Structure 1
C-alpha cells in the first residue's frame, strides 16, 4: 500500500463512520418525534428525505471507496458493481433534488404574499410529501440505464475506453455517447440554477431583515419571523456546502475525463469531496433544531421511568 493510499484509507474510514453516525442519529431523532406524537413539520419531511439519501450515499459510496482505498481490490462481481454504481448515482441525484426542494420550500415560507397568493402558497406547501416521492421516482428512472455500462474490475477490455474505479469499471465511451448523459447534465444544471435563484432571493430577504433590525424602533419583535430567519441561514449554509464540494468533485471529474492516464488518487479525492456534504449536513441540521435536545431528554426520562417501573414489579 502506497503512502497516499494509506492516507485515503484513514480519511474514508473516518468520513464513513462519522457520516453514518450523524445521519442515523438524526433519523432516530425524527423517528422519536413520531413515537412521542410530536408534530412533524413540513420541513422535517424534506430533511428525512435528505437523511435517507445521505445514508445510501455513505453505504454505497463511502464503504466501497474505503475498502478500495484500504487495498481491498477485486472484491465485487459484475452484478454487485451494477447495483452499487446505480444506487450511488440515484442517491447523489436525490440529494441534489432534495437540497433544491429545501431551498424552494424555505423561499416560499418566508415570502410575504398578499391574499390572492395565499391559496397558491398553501397548496404548494401541501405538495411537499408527493414532491419527495416524485424525486425518488425521477432519479430511479433517469439512471436506470447506467448499470448496462458498469462491470467488475476484472472485465476491463480496453483501459482507454473504461474508467477503472478500483472496485468497478465504467464504459466511458458508451456513457458519453448516450443522450441520457446530456439530459442528466441538463437535469443537474436546472436544479443547481434553481438553488442559486432561491439562494439569491433568500439573501435579499435576510438583507431586508437586517435593515429592519437596524431600525427596530419602527418594528415589533416577531419570534416566528426570527425562527424563519434562522432556518433560512441554515439552508443557505447547506446549499453553500453542497455547491462548494460538488464543484470541487466535478473539477476532478473533468480532469479525469480529459486525462489519458488517470491517477487513482485523483479518482479517490473526487469521491472523497462528493461525500463531504452527506457527512456534514446531518450535524448542521441537528445544530439548528433546539427540539432535538428536548427529544433526547424526553427519551432519557422514558428510559428512567421504565427502569423504575421494572424495579417496582420485581
Structure 2
C-alpha cells in the first residue's frame, strides 16, 4: 500500500513539474517574440491564455495533492482549500473555453469566402480579446459559489455528507447536488460540443481543399502546405488531445460520484487524468507551433551572426 501511494505521488509530482516547466517555457517564448517585435496572430493570444490557465490547474491541484499524498496532512485549512478549489475550477474552465474559442476561431479563418462563416472572417479577430476576457469573467461567476461547499479535509467540524478529494473535502447537499452539477457541467458540455463541431468542420474544409488542389501537378505547389493548413492541423491535434483526456477524466469523475465514500484510487486517477492535458499541451504546441519555430530560427540567426562577427 505504501509503495502504491509513493508511485501515485511520484506520477503526480512528475506531471506537475514537467507541465509547469513546459508551460513556463512556452509562455517565455511568446513574451520574447513580443519584445523582439514579431507580430503574433490572434490564435497566439488565445494560446497564451490557455498556457496561463493550464499552469493554474497544475499549480492549484498538482502541488497540494503531491504534498497530501506524501503525508503532509495539515497543509492548509478551510481558507486555503476554498481558494485552491476556486482557482483550479476557474483555470480548468478557462482552459476548456480557450480550446473551444481557438477551434471556432480557426474554422472562421480557414472557411471559404463563399461559406456562411465568411462574414465573420474580418470581424472575428477584433473580438478575440473581448472573448478571452469574457471567458475569465464567466468562469469566475460560475464557480464563485463552489468554495462555499469546500472545507479542509482535516477540519474539526462534524460533517456527515461530504466527499474527500485529496487534501480537501466537498460538503454535499443531496437536494441541490443534481442542480449544482448541471449548472457546472453546462458550460463544459457546450464548449465540448462546439469544439467537436469545429474540429469536424476543419477536417471537412481541409479535405475539400486537398481535393481541389489535386489537379495541380507542380511539386513545389502541392508538396508544401500553407501556413493556415499547418496551423489548422496543429489546432486539430491540440483539440483532439483535449477531447480525449477530458472524456477520460469525466469517466473517473462520474464513477467517483457513484460512491458514497470516496475511493482513493478513483480520486487519484481523476487527478492524474485531469492533469494530463495541461502537461502534454505545451509540448504539442512547441512541436507544431510556427510562432515558437520563429523564435528558434531567430536564436539560430543571432548565434550565426555573432559567430561571423567573431571570425571577422
TM-score by length of 2: 0.89
Contact 1:149 1:175 in 2 (8 A): no
Q: Which residue of structure 1 lines up, in the alignment, with residue 167 of structure 2? A: 167
By how many angstroms is 1:114 displaced? 3.7
Residues 245-303 of structure 1 deviation map (CA, whole Å, 9 limit, x = unaligned): 11111111111111123321210111110011011111111111244244245457779
Q: Is residue 2:5 matched to residue 1:5?
A: yes
CA distance in 1, matches of 2:85, 2:12: 17
Distance of aligned partners of 1:48 and 1:291 in 2 relative to their CA distance in 1, 3 Å threshold: closer
Aligned counterparts, 1:192-271, within 5 A:
192-217=192-217, 221=221, 226-271=226-271
**Aligned partner of residue 163 in structure 1, secondary structure:** strand
Contact 2:159 2:171 in 1 (8 A): no
Q: Which residue of structure 2 lines up, in the alignment, with residue 147 of structure 1? A: 147
Q: Which moved more, 1:130-139 or 1:222-231?
A: 222-231
Q: Which residue of structure 2 lines up, in the alignment, with residue 68 of structure 1? A: 68
CA distance in 1, matches of 2:113, 2:180: 39
TM-score by length of 1: 0.88
Contact 1:73 1:166 in 2 (8 A): no
Q: Which residue of structure 1 lines up, in the alignment, with residue 25 of structure 2? A: 25
**Aligned partner of residue 170 in structure 2, secondary structure:** strand
User: What runs of 5+ residues in structure 1 fail to find an aligned partner?
Assistant: 307-314
Distance of aligned partners of 1:186 and 1:115 in 2 relative to their CA distance in 1, 3 Å threshold: closer
By how many angstroms is 1:61 displaced? 1.0
Q: Which residue of structure 2 lines up, in the alignment, with residue 41 of structure 1? A: 41
Aligned counterparts, 1:41-120, within 5 A:
41-114=41-114, 120=120
User: What runs of 5+ residues in structure 2 fail to find an aligned partner?
Assistant: 307-312
Residues 27-46 of structure 1 deviation map (CA, whole Å, 9 limit, x = unaligned): 00100011111111111101
CA distance in 2, matches of 1:2, 1:115: 59
Distance of aligned partners of 1:176 and 1:19 in 2 relative to their CA distance in 1, 3 Å threshold: farther
CA distance in 2, matches of 1:204, 1:160: 52
Instruction: Give the total of aligned pairs.
Output: 309
* Root mean square deviation, CA, Å: 3.0
**Aligned partner of residue 226 in structure 2, secondary structure:** helix
Residues 126-169 of structure 1 deviation map (CA, whole Å, 9 limit, x = unaligned): 11111011100010110000111111012275676211123110
By how many angstroms is 1:199 displaced? 1.2
Contact 1:29 1:295 in 2 (8 A): yes
Aligned counterparts, 1:234-313, within 5 A:
234-296=234-296, 298-299=298-299
By how many angstroms is 1:176 displaced? 4.3
